[in-house]
Amino acid sequence: MRKWLEYIPFVGIATLVRVLPRSLALSLGKRLGQLAQHAQGRRVRVARDNLQKAFPEMSSEEVSETIGAMFKHLGSSFIDMLRVDQYRGQQDLERYFEIDNSEHLTEALELGRGCIVLSGHVGFWEAGTFFMPQLGFTTEVVAKPMRNPLLDAYFSRIRRANGNQIINSRKGARGILKSLQKNHAVCILLDQHLGGEGSVVAPFFGRPAHTTTIITQMATRYQIPIVMAFSYRQPDNTYLCHFEKMFLLEGDLKEENILANTSLLNQRIEAGIRHDISQWFWLHRRWRSCCEK
C-alpha cells in the first residue's frame, strides 16, 4: 500500500508535466527545485559542507549562489527526466542537443571490445538515453533499481523508450561484460559512495572517497576503452553533450595500480564537474569515510 501511495501522486505530477509545453515544464521544474531547497534543510547543510571543503577559497555568498543554482538545475533535470522519452528523431536532436566529438566514441568501438562511457551525476545525465541511440550507438545503461518497484518500472520504461537496455547494477560485472562482448557502449556513473569489499579510498576533490574498483579492474584486465562523456545544461535549456578522447588503463591488477587507476577515473570525473560545479549533485554524502575526520 505504501508503494502505491508513493506511486499514484507521482504519476499525477508526471502526467501533468508531460502534457505541458517543454519550456513551461522546465520552468516549473526550476520552481520545484527552489521549493525543495527551502524544504530540505539537512540536504542544504550537506551541500554547503561539501562545497566548502571542496572549494575552501569560495565565500559563503558564492557557496549559497551555487547551491541555489544547483537546486534549480536539479528541479529542471527531474522534470526533463520525466519527459526524455518524448524527444523524437533528428529534429529534436538538432533543436535541443549540441553533440561535441562523438567520433571519439566511434573510434573506441572500432577496437571491437565495446566501450565504457563514463560520467557522473553532473548536468543532465539522462540525456544520453535519447541522443546516443539517435546517433546510431547501441547503448546499455547501468542503473541501480529503485526501492519502489512501481517507480523503478516507470523510469525503466522511459530509459528504454529510445532503444536503450538497462543493466542492473546489483548484477555488477557479469552484465557489463556481456554487453561489452557484443561491442556495445555501456554507460556508467561512477561518482557515488560505495564502501566495503570491492572498493578503495581514492581522492575526489582532495578528500578520501570510497570508490568501486569493478570498472577499474574490468577496463584494465580486458583493455576496454573508456570515453568520458558529459551533458551540460545551457542557459537556453539546450544541452552541450561532450565526448572526450578514449583512453586505456595501463598496468596490472596489483593493489597499488588499482588505486592509481581508480584515482585517475575520479580525477577525470572531477574535471567534468569543474566545468560547471552548480550542475553536480552536491547533496550526496560522497565522502562517507571512516578515515576522514
Express each pLDDT in 198-219 by its tens digit: 899 999 999 999 999 999 999 9
Residue 85 is assigned to a structural domain of this protein: yes
The total number of structural domains in the chain stands at: 1
Instruction: Using pLDDT thresholds of 50, 70 and 90, give the confidence band for residue 194.
Output: confident
Place of cell 560520467: 119
What long-range pairs does 153-157 form, CB within 8 A, spacing at least 24?
154/7, 154/10, 154/11, 154/14, 155/81, 157/85
Instruction: Using pLDDT thresholds of 50, 70 and 90, give the confidence band for residue 196.
Output: confident
**Contact predicate 144/170, CB 8 Å:** yes
Tell whether the model's pLDDT for residue 292 goes beyond 70.
Answer: no
Tell whether the model's pLDDT for residue 172 goes beyond 80.
Answer: no
Structural domain of 231: 2-279
Please indicate, yes or no, whether the overall pTM of this predicted structure exceeds 0.85.
Answer: yes
Q: What percentage of the chain exceeds 90 in pLDDT?
A: 91
Residue 215 is assigned to a structural domain of this protein: yes
Sign of CA dihedral 4, 6, 12, 18: negative
Distance CA 80, CA 74 (A): 10
Residue 93 is assigned to a structural domain of this protein: yes
Place of cell 547543510: 45
Q: What percentage of the chain exceeds 70 in pLDDT?
A: 98
Tell whether the model's pLDDT for residue 114 goes beyond 90.
Answer: yes
Q: Mean pLDDT throughout 265-284?
A: 97
Locate 89 and state its grid cell: 528523431
Q: Mean pLDDT throughout 67-80?
A: 97
Tell whether the model's pLDDT for residue 291 goes beyond 60.
Answer: no
Residue 285 is assigned to a structural domain of this protein: no
Tell whether the model's pLDDT for residue 293 goes beyond 50.
Answer: no
232 burial via Cβ count (<10 Å: 0-12, 13-18, 19+): buried
Q: Mean pLDDT throughout 251-275?
A: 97
- Which residue would you say has higher pLDDT here, 247 or 290? 247
Report pLDDT for 289.
Answer: 60
Name the phi and psi angles at 157, rounded to 5: -65, -40
Of 215, 199, 121, nearest to 167 by C-alpha is 215
Q: Residues, the chain, total?
A: 293
Residue 286 is assigned to a structural domain of this protein: no
Distance CA 35, CA 71 (A): 9
Residue 287 is assigned to a structural domain of this protein: no
Residue 12 is assigned to a structural domain of this protein: yes
Tell whether the model's pLDDT for residue 259 goes beyond 80.
Answer: yes
Residue 157 is assigned to a structural domain of this protein: yes
Report pLDDT for 266.
Answer: 98
Q: Mean pLDDT throughout 113-137?
A: 96
Looking at residue 286, its amino acid is R
Report pLDDT for 103.
Answer: 98
Question: What is the distance, to the nearest Å, from the Cα of residue 202 to the centroid of all Cα atoms in its chain?
Answer: 19
